[in-house]
A and B are shown apart, each in its own frame.
Chain A
Amino acid sequence: MTEMRAGSRLERVLRSGRFAVTAELNPVDSADPEAVYERALVLAEVCDAINVTDAAGAYVHMSSIATCALLVRAGYEPVLQMTCRDRNRIALQGDLLGAAALGIRNVLCLTGDDVTVGDQPQAKRVFDLDSIQLLRMARIMRDKGVFLSGRPLEVRPRLFLGAASNPFAPPFDFRPLRLAKKVDAGADFIQTQLCFDVERFRRFMAQVRDMGLHERVFILVGVGPLRSVKSAEYMRTRVPGVYIPDEIVERLRKAGGPKQQREEGKRICVEIIQQVKEIPGVAGVHVMAFRQEHLVAEVVEEAGLLPRRHAQQTPGASPPSPSPA
């Protein structure tokens, strides 16, 4: 794992062996770029790269690719999340090229939450490709310099390719095997679903190490602070693929009022970060705090993962210049 694929900041941090921190940004419901910068500013100083979701939960927001382009313009390092839910292979290939041209260097290839879980279940689901096919297609474009049809590209998209893994959803025995498929398809890094069950994750990583996958791919563990019992209950019942053990919810409940619950949620998250950090084969954490970006900074700081000097350049007080960084 020494050869540079894209030379992105995230890739350089991972290859240098430093513990990486990425954070999730949910794009805005606005046509104003300032709203994007505002949301990113909190995250940028505490992470190496910012993941931009692609209509997560099938709720539409500003497009992932446009949000990423704005982040690049402001000097930030985005990870473009790309799902198979809304676009067929023709659109996806065009977006991969366009993303690279806009200066986006990291792409996370996902299947995508189904349209039925969002607020526009009337929509047509696409799923022309699945996430593994999307990954392989992106790798063919990058490494072979051709479209799926074989038509050559003049300039290849230099992309650091990522994939997701959910060790916390059945079929548990198949999850490491599916990870292996993703590595074979072309994944350079992995970001997992939110981890609230460290024991389960430990077992998963043991299998991953047995297969030697940790030496072929960088694995970032998904973590996130729970705001309250109510939000924990919402997430475990309504957000696809999130598993929160009863003990965690119980801990939050015992904490007391809203303020104490919020503190306890943060404490749980910090503890989980410290535990997974010690698991061999873990290259970093991916912090997801839906609509509470400010909490990410607190979590990263309290987990002792600061300073991240090498991370993002902090833009000045003035609005970022429109010329590409």
Chain B
Amino acid sequence: MIRPLAFLQNHPHCLERVYRFTLAVFRRARPLLARVGYDRAARVLVPVERLTKGAIFGCQMCGQCTLHATGMTCPMTCPKNLRNGPCGGVRANGHCEVIPEMPCVWVQAYERSRHMPLYGHEILLIQPPLDRRLADTSAWINAITGRAEDTGIVWNADD
């Protein structure tokens, strides 16, 4: 995938502010989006998301964006799609087990998370399994409607 804006990932502290801002804007815009209809809004937002997040992060449109919790590095670009950290196969030079010429997504994610005062600590959170039905839907809409979190599974092991 061609990622013309990938260099922005090396400024994770800026990106996390953009994330916070974007989230706030979408939360405010929720009533408006609801009135327009989420389906209709998605027709515009999905291509926008694909274009912007694709150009920067190599977004795979999983529909459940965790970028802020993964060092502003898309975990879906890991060949194993790992969402909770690096596998044991990372090479001594920090490159991927599967694609030797590619730096490990999680080596980069951890490094970047350390330069993220706002959300960096969230890399320690356990990310739940993906809801595969949300592929190719708008992560922004899924975030404000709560659909991204409410995937209909039992995930809390305590209580």
Contacts and interface: CB of A to CB of B under 8 A. Distances in A.
Contacts of B94: 170-171
Interface stretch (B6-14, B17-25, B136-144, B147-155): B147-155
A129 interface: yes
Contacts of B42: none
Q: Which of A129, A147, A149, A165 has the most CB of B within 10 A?
A: A129
A140 B154 contact: yes
B98 A181 contact: no
Given A144-B157, A193-B88, A181 B107 contact: no
B155 A136 contact: yes
Interface in A104-158: 111-114, 116-117, 125, 127-133, 136-137, 139-140, 143-144, 146-150
Nearest to A132: B84
Contacts of A311: none
B4 interface: no
Interface in B101-159: 104, 106-107, 110-111, 123-124, 126-130, 132, 152-155, 157
A169 interface: yes
B97 A117 contact: yes
B1 interface: no
Interface in A143-201: 143-144, 146-150, 164-166, 169-171, 173-174, 177-178, 180-181, 184-186, 193
Given A116-B98, A170-B94, A170-B107, A111 B88 contact: yes
Given A174-B110, A185-B126, A111 B82 contact: yes
| B interface secondary structure, majority | loop
B107 to A, nearest CB: 5
A241 interface: yes
Contacts of B88: 111, 164-166, 169, 193, 240-241
Given A114-B80, A180-B124, A193-B88, A150 B154 contact: yes
A173 B110 contact: yes
A170 B104 contact: yes
A144 B156 CA distance: 9
Interface in A256-296: none
Contacts of B90: 166, 169-171, 241
A100 to B, nearest CB: 17
A170 B128 CA distance: 24
Q: How large is the interface on A (under 10, 10 to 19, 20 to 34, 35 or more residues)?
A: 35 or more
Given A133-B129, A148-B153, A174 B86 contact: yes
Given A130-B82, A171-B86, A193-B88, A89 B129 contact: yes
B44 interface: no
B84 A140 contact: no
A202 to B, nearest CB: 19
A226 B123 CA distance: 36
Nearest to A185: B126
A218 interface: no
B126 A132 contact: yes
A12 B92 CA distance: 36
Nearest to B89: A240
A186 to B, nearest CB: 6
B79 interface: yes
B81 interface: yes
Contacts of A193: 88
A226 B87 CA distance: 24
A76 interface: no
Interface string A227-268: 000000000000011010000000000000000000000000
B68 interface: no
Contact of A132 (B85, B107, B154): B85
13 contacts: A125-B80, A127-B80, A127-B82, A129-B129, A133-B129, A136-B155, A148-B129, A149-B154, A165-B88, A170-B90, A170-B107, A171-B86, A240-B89
Interface of A: 84, 89, 111-114, 116-117, 125, 127-133, 136-137, 139-140, 143-144, 146-150, 164-166, 169-171, 173-174, 177-178, 180-181, 184-186, 193, 240-241, 243
Given A174-B86, A181-B84, A185-B157, 7 more contacts: A111-B82, A114-B89, A148-B154, A171-B86, A171-B106, A171-B107, A174-B110
Interface of B: 79-92, 94, 97-98, 104, 106-107, 110-111, 123-124, 126-130, 132, 152-155, 157
